[in-house]
Structure 1
Amino acid sequence: MKPYVYITRKLSEETIKELTENFEVKMWDHEDLPAPREVLMNEAKRASALITMLSDKVDEELLTAGENLKIVSNLAVGFDNIDLETATKRGIIVTNTPDVLTETTADLTWALLMSAARRIVEAAEYVKAGKWEGWSPYLLAGHDVYGKIIGIVGMGKIGEAVARRAKGFGMEILYHNRTRKTEAEIELGAVYSTFDELVAKSDYVVTLAPLTAETRNLFTADVFAKMKNSAIFINAGRGPVMDEQALYEALKNGEIAGAGLDVFEKEPISADHPLLQLPNVTAIPHIGSASTETRTTMIKLCCSNVKAVLNGDSPKTIVNKQVL
């Protein structure tokens, strides 16, 4: 019998052709909604390979049920949805999709920053609502970006790509990271800062940090209180690094000027979410890497990793290399 591959979202047949030509493949029949837990558990019991999304909880229970499971191929750079320790103990390879989405996600982060700074969404809705009756000096006045200070928390490849864009806008670049990035300091003039220094000095605080025990709930009420009243907070990394209630209070009380959010603590969020009731919040539905070109490349990389493992070869982008 051919190895069985289960995919937790509906993908185009063209993008998974590499798998359907070689293995038995089944997909969940919805593009947007995740496979229910009971479905995923049942499929894991049979599957040799899973292609999962960041919103799929691949925990110890699921991995233990997957007696035939050889690989979990995650359609994301991050893999905090996967119990990596259990996967490694059970000899299950975990792969992700790094590098291929760096520039696309940096584009989106920059668009979010610009939109929040210049109140683009708010202004567009103002026009559509028929409120535009004439010109006035401070009508929907936002904040300058050029020449300001940007603080990047999480200076990985995406952070460096955002910094390159900031350099083009003549911005002073501060960054905070677990390790110093000397090449970025030389190439971009980026300055390493402590976390407290960064949040106090920056006009734009951009977090691209991965979700770890150290970064969970990193942005608290105390942190927002240290920011400039004119500061704008951008989160295009992981939702749980911020305390949403604290952010709401900081925005509502004028402790900071605005926020641009691509991610949230629990996704998806509903239309009555408190942050969505604030006019100084630009919110989008976790679309950091969502360009047609990049998502297609990510899917094909997932498929390539699965094919390699099921054929007894090494995958291109393995997370837990100790399994090999």
Structure 2
Amino acid sequence: MTKSSEFTPSQLDRSATFYVAGHRGLVGSAIWRNLEAEGFTNLVGRTSSELDLKDRDEVFAFFADTKPRYVVLAAAKVGGILANSTYPVDFLSDNLRIQVNVLDAALRYGVERLLFLGSSCIYPKFAEQPIREDSLLTGHLEPTNDAYAIAKIAGIMQIQAVRRQYGLPWISAMPTNLYGPGDNFSPEGSHVLPALIRRYDEAARSGASTVTNWGTGSPRREFLHVDDMAAACLHLLEHYDGPGQINVGTGTDITIKELAAIVADAVGYDGQMVWDTTKPDGTPQKLLDVSELAKAGWTAQIGLREGVLRTVEWYRANVDRVRS
């Protein structure tokens, strides 16, 4: 492949083939919904049973057949502290294979515009807050999810390498903690917010007098509704082009204890909150600097209390079929 000419971001062709890798997941499904709402008419997605992204031959055959013009790589093996710390080999190996296969196939078959989605866990555990994009690779990672983080850093590096070698306008976006419809609410595999929603909803239904949460409740976290993330992805594809990863978040954070109180209020639980300090807290604070995102013309629209309430309502309406 020869090196491409200079690129200027512009509105994407709504009739072009657009592949959303991971379209059934939390982020991918939100991106799919947003693209449909924005008038895209040729969206392509495959479930993991239809297309194993860890299988290189399958991935290349899929790209040869569909020849997408645009791609969002939202497929990944994801999980919370427990899952990441218990299965680091899986999180490293599976994500590396998914990324390399999709990105190599996209390069082979001439994908014009591609967005790779990572995670804010790529940044050092003790990065200066709020975390700027240039904090990448400046310190040690959080040990409980370093394997996943290394895989995502490798994805960022591959995007940058493609840009340098081939001049393609591919980009990377690093979202903060995401939540919303379609999340994983399982006790073992979920992130903190869906885990709290399930825990407090079950306590409210059972009339439990106490709810026990992990850690001290003191770590500070930033949360972005997945529908906001989906809107940001399309905005970046149409308005942003840069070699480094760009942070996507709200620019504000709260403590886990404050978050638990918001969740308790949303589900109608008025019992006692207990904290198991023998369990890990993880990174003390993780707040993204979103000034580059603001320069690109996008800011989050869904407030945390509103977003949590929406998510609780979705969870209760789908409790029999959510990932649990």
**What is the TM-score of this pair, normalised by structure 1?**
0.29
Structure having the higher helix fraction is 2
Greater relative CO (CA pairs within 8 A, separation 6+)? 2
Larger radius of gyration: 1
